[in-house]
Structure 1
Amino acid sequence: MTTVDRTQVFLLPDLGEGLSEAEIVEWRVAVGDVVTVDQSVVEVETAKAVVDVPCPYAGRVVALHGAAGEVRPVGQPLITIAPLDGGDEPAGHATYREEERAGSGNVLIGYGTGHGSTTRRRRRPRLALAPEPVDAARADTAPAGHTAPGVGTVAADPARSPAALVISPIVRRLARDHGVDLTTLSGTGPGGVIRRADVEAALTVPAVRLTAVPDPQVASAPAGDGDVVVPLTGVRKVIADKLSRSRREIPEVTIWVDVDATGLLETRAAINAATPDAPVSILALLARICLSGLRRFPQLNARVDTEAQRIVQSAGVHLGIAAQTDRGLLVPVLRDAHRLTTAELAAELAATTAAARAGSLPPARLTGGTFTLNNYGVFGVDGSTPIINHPEAALLGIGRIVDKPWVVDGQLAVRKVTQLSLTFDHRVCDGGVAGGFLRHVADCVERPALLIAAV
């Protein structure tokens, strides 16, 4: 009798614009667990956010493809599910077959679990090299240097004996960073697999430290005792890659001007006194002023398409707001900001920055900006020469607002002064356009009534 393989392999789905991979943070299920349609099975970290990934299949988990800390490309196997036999169906899961046939319609960025029967559900093609599902015992006891299907590579150093049984890449990285010789450890995992806890325990035993561990994959000097090692992964890696690309490709220029913001603060106080239930922030007023400037100088609301050798000016303004979070610098985007009123801008800014700091923004909200506003004054600094948020063409920065002596109508007075800086891509415009934009912004900050005339 021929055995039919009825397992379903769920591939890592498209997680948003420009995202080609994700790092596994934590598995929510284990081999042998029963899952239902749309149950969250793994937490992954992309370049944009930490995301819970729901599985579109119901059944029993027979393989997890990848360990915590491992980076998986989009389209590669993530989890293998086998259908339950009637007798295996536990209490509370009696309707899992109906759920799977119907699908919930829930969507995670670029995929959904379907809205109809399984015969109509759009499935991604199974890759030719997709690992076959196996049980945990086979995976954990795979010979050194061979691949445990569905789990990862059991690493071994051919120059040492006995070989070290390690499945998790994060364990190997931890050992390498701290100079721990894996061949001296006895693994406490199934089949003698070395776990993270084994490496951490060995850090207190000097005998397992290596005096020199040359690693051809590590170009920098080994970390010394007491050094803090921060892996360049996730958001930090994307920030580094994006800013490096921006600095390599964009011939950027920064210009700046000091402005008297006393009138802007007085205008904000008047607005908030009239509408106490919908307060407006200084950042919202500056966003409104930027939108006015971009209406006059659309050359700065653009990007350079190097492959097609052209400059593309965007029809709408998708305003990026630089926000410092626990996970690093993020730039959430307010779509079609030019269509929002000042009150709507204030509300959207407050909600968006709060969501960014909480890590709850979907990846789609962190891409597609056309111009960025950066309020680095919150860090107590006056000026900056920021790097443009690639592929945008310009970024406006605002320093802290402080009391300074200022000449008003020929008399010295104490005023609220700030510094505005504009960093722009010299390929999209020359100094006349950039200077005109910055001067318009400065004039509106000093005399907010000009905004009415500019509408």
Structure 2
Amino acid sequence: MPEVKEFRLPDLGEGLTEAEIVRWLVEVGEVVEIDQPVVEVETAKAMVEVPCPYGGVVTARFGAEGTELPVGAPLLTVAVGAPSKASAAPEAEGSGNVLVGYGTGAPAARRRRVRPEAGPSGASGSPAGAGPAGGPTDPGGPEAGGHRRSRLRGLSAVAAEGVAGAGVASGAGPQAPVSTGPVPVVSPLVRKLAREHGLDLRTLTGTGRDGLILRADVERAVHAAAAADRAPAPSPAAGVAGAERIPLRGLRGAVAEKLSRSRREVPDATCWVDADATELLAARKAMNAAGGAKISLLALLARICTAALTRYPDLNSTVDTEAREIVRLPGVHLGFAAQTERGLVVPVVRDAHLRNAAGLSAEIARLTEAARTGTLTPAELTGGTFTLNNYGVFGVDGSTPIINHPEAAMLGVGRIAPKPWVHEGELAVRHVVQLSFTFDHRVCDGGTAGGFLRYVADCVEQPAVLLRSL
């Protein structure tokens, strides 16, 4: 008899705790091979294809397209050992594939679990290893090789919702009601804390091992209830007939949370200056006329930024609010804003301070193409220390951008347009650009910010200034 194995949404790394199902790549009843991609998901960082570590026949899919699932929620079940091309592989072994923080190098150890008692309707929890008609199996799931797995409170509720959504298509039966069996709590302190705040522990899902409810889980629930009590009444527009609601999740939700956090925590300020970019455009034209790979204007601006950060290292830093310290960072990982069909993303050029204009241009081109095709990895979207925002591509002159938390500063570049300008004592038509600089006022004062921006403007107006740092 084939063994039914459950494949859960693996840890996708970079602290990601959930993902949205964009597109299923396999159907129920289809034969899959080990490490074959089975679903395409969108996280807060990127779009990725998830490979299944088992070979066999797909017996169930959990979650329709558009469903958001937390890490650890069931994705699908596979009948291993059913007649297939993958059946030649030993059933007890995984593929050894590692998807970021998820490994399948060895079978998971069997664990004892608390089975829920029969509910009022007489239904009981599904046994471990249940097939399409059952719910999630052993909550530990495949955790071979000791790889870390993120767990998220509310896992059971969201996972149940995903299973219910797939029940009709996969033949799953009705889901069991909320368990009336033993609550997975060890510490008497946790029970006491719940009683003091009137919390029903059966409504919580623990983040400890095997779903154990921890003190932190109870405290989060208490804080959430208090926040709900303080929440303002919904605006009149919330109940307007025909109003469209767009979920803030995935990439859009991550951007919203990051910008909101920046506004809450960072006392930012902005200064700006107009600069004559005529000579910079001429320098780029001369570079590209000399042959070789073309150098983009954004790459030249990036090179100017790295030179300016060398002179003003306080701006390549972050603030540790708990320690009340400014952390000056040793290298420049330069982020640049890129607009895509999925929204705004900020790819990061690693070690930008070690690259020349040609190297910056090549890497920016590669990351931009990956952003457009949705193939950026989480590592390519995180870890930036300074951001360059070229909003001039939208045809606007100026902006007061929000700092990309937890960075300390951002340079904004407007469109370069012909304008009247006094050049060498005479009025002339020159190519002028507005540069704006937003900075964390905890990190520096106006003198440092003004010095940085003035140096950038000088390099734009007289590219030969950069020769000092080459």
- TM-score bracket for this pair, using the shorter chain length: 0.7 to 0.9
Instruction: Decide whether the 8 Å contact of 1:298 with 1:313 is kept in 2.
Output: yes
Distance in 2, Cα, partners of 1:308 & 1:125: 42
Q: 1:338 to 1:451 in 2, by over 3 A?
A: same
Displacement of 1:33: 3.3
TM-score by length of 1: 0.75
Matched, 1:269 2:277: no
In structure 2, what is the equivalent of residue 18 of structure 1? 15
In structure 2, what is the equivalent of residue 53 of structure 1? 50
Instruction: Decide whether the 8 Å contact of 2:55 with 2:80 is kept in 1.
Output: yes
Letter in 1 for 2:273: V
Tell me, what secondary structure is at the counterpart of 2:282? helix
Matched, 1:329 2:322: no
In structure 2, what is the equivalent of residue 354 of structure 1? 369
Instruction: Decide whether the 8 Å contact of 1:64 with 1:151 is kept in 2.
Output: no
In structure 1, what is the equivalent of residue 435 of structure 2? 420
For residues 292-303 of structure 1, the aligned pairs below 5 Å read: 292-303=307-318
Tell me, what secondary structure is at the counterpart of 2:396? coil
Distance in 1, Cα, partners of 2:112 & 2:276: 62
1:390 equivalent among 402, 405, 415: 405
In structure 2, what is the equivalent of residue 239 of structure 1? 255
Matched, 1:108 2:124: no
Instruction: Decide whether the 8 Å contact of 1:48 with 1:366 is kept in 2.
Output: yes
Instruction: Decide whether the 8 Å contact of 2:73 with 2:159 is kept in 1.
Output: no
In structure 1, what is the equivalent of residue 121 of structure 2? none
Deviations 1:71-117 (A, max 9, x none): 22223333333421xxx313x3353438x8473x5443223444xxx
Gaps of 5+ in 1: 140-147, 155-165, 170-186, 194-215
Tell me, what secondary structure is at the counterpart of 2:467? helix
Letter in 1 for 2:33: T
Instruction: Decide whether the 8 Å contact of 2:4 with 2:78 is kept in 1.
Output: yes
Tell me, what secondary structure is at the counterpart of 1:168? helix
Instruction: Decide whether the 8 Å contact of 1:134 with 1:150 is kept in 2.
Output: no
Distance in 1, Cα, partners of 2:409 & 2:159: 45
Instruction: Decide whether the 8 Å contact of 2:317 with 2:407 is kept in 1.
Output: yes
Displacement of 1:7: 4.0
Letter in 1 for 2:290: A
TM-score by length of 2: 0.73
For residues 283-298 of structure 1, the aligned pairs below 5 Å read: 283-298=298-313
Instruction: Decide whether the 8 Å contact of 1:134 with 1:149 is kept in 2.
Output: no
In structure 1, what is the equivalent of residue 33 of structure 2? 36
Deviations 1:237-273 (A, max 9, x none): 1111111111111000000000000110010000000
For residues 133-152 of structure 1, the aligned pairs below 5 Å read: 134-136=130-132, 152=160
* CA RMSD between the two structures: 3.4
Deviations 1:185-244 (A, max 9, x none): xx9997999xxxxxxxxxxxxxxxxxxxxxx9x94623523x443222211111111111
In structure 2, what is the equivalent of residue 78 of structure 1? 75
Matched, 1:248 2:264: yes
Deviations 1:5-44 (A, max 9, x none): 9543333222121211112223323444332210112211
Q: 1:309 to 1:27 in 2, by over 3 A?
A: same
Q: 1:72 to 1:35 in 2, by over 3 A?
A: same
In structure 2, what is the equivalent of residue 305 of structure 1? 320
Q: 1:189 to 1:32 in 2, by over 3 A?
A: closer
Distance in 2, Cα, partners of 1:426 & 1:51: 37
In structure 1, what is the equivalent of residue 199 of structure 2? none
Q: 1:59 to 1:150 in 2, by over 3 A?
A: farther
Letter in 2 for 1:152: A
The more displaced of 58-67 and 127-136 is 127-136
Matched, 1:406 2:421: yes
Tell me, what secondary structure is at the counterpart of 2:48? strand
Matched, 1:224 2:260: no
Tell me, what secondary structure is at the counterpart of 2:272? strand
Displacement of 1:454: 2.9
Tell me, what secondary structure is at the counterpart of 2:443? coil
Tell me, what secondary structure is at the counterpart of 2:383? coil
% identical equivalent positions: 58
Gaps of 5+ in 2: 115-124, 136-155, 175-230
Letter in 1 for 2:373: A
Letter in 2 for 1:41: V
Deviations 1:149-169 (A, max 9, x none): 997349xxxxxxxxxxx9339
Equivalent residue pairs, number: 381
Letter in 2 for 1:368: G
Letter in 2 for 1:108: L
Q: 1:127 to 1:343 in 2, by over 3 A?
A: farther
Deviations 1:286-329 (A, max 9, x none): 00000000000011111111122211111110000100111011
Q: 1:415 to 1:89 in 2, by over 3 A?
A: same
